[in-house]
Amino acid sequence: MHELGEVTVTEPEIIDFACRYDPRPMHTDPAAARALPFGGLIASGWHTAGLFMRLFSTQVLNRARSLGSPGVEELRWLRPVRPGDVLRGRYEVLDVTPSGTDPTRGTVRGRGEMLNQHGEVVLRLVARNHFSRRPV
């Protein structure tokens, strides 16, 4: 398990992200959000995914020779993320598969999670990433 570090979620960033990419009152309007199901402003799930990715890119992908990703098998938003929450990321390799056609490449399948300051998992994903392999 790799610890990826922490990020603090702010209300201005929640609103800014959502105005661009998920413009719904529960993510953009603190007053309106109080009357909505979560009882207050919550981050777009795509924003939380972006915050995970910020940590994962910085701590993992930029330290290897990342060749991109074909996608995500599963992406779950398990709890709401609110202004002031401090999220920490972690990542665990599930399996590693050398390319069948190019011996210089391989694919890593791994599980990423974001946890809040109460230790609750707020986001979980399972993704595949392609890498250049180290020379043997």
In angstroms, what is the minimal distance from the CB of 119 to a copy of itself?
20
Restricted to residues 44-83, the positions that interact with a copy of itself (CB under 8 A) are 44-46, 49-51, 53-54, 57-58, 61-62, 66-77
Compute how many residues bind a copy of itself; rule: CB under 8 A.
32
Answer whether 122's CB lies under 8 Å from 87's CB: yes
In angstroms, what is the minimal distance from the CB of 53 to a copy of itself?
5
CB atoms closer than 10 angstroms to residue 106: 17
The Cα–Cα gap between 25 and 126 comes to: 29
Q: Which is nearer to a copy of itself, 15 or 49 (CB)?
A: 49
The Cα–Cα gap between 9 and 50 comes to: 12
Six-digit token pair at 55?
Answer: 């940590």
Q: Which is nearer to a copy of itself, 68 or 100 (CB)?
A: 68
Residue 99 binds to a copy of itself (criterion: CB under 8 A): no
In angstroms, what is the minimal distance from the CB of 54 to a copy of itself?
5
Q: Which is nearer to a copy of itself, 45 or 90 (CB)?
A: 45
CB atoms closer than 10 angstroms to residue 24: 12
Angle between helices 11-21 and 45-59 (to 10 degrees): 110
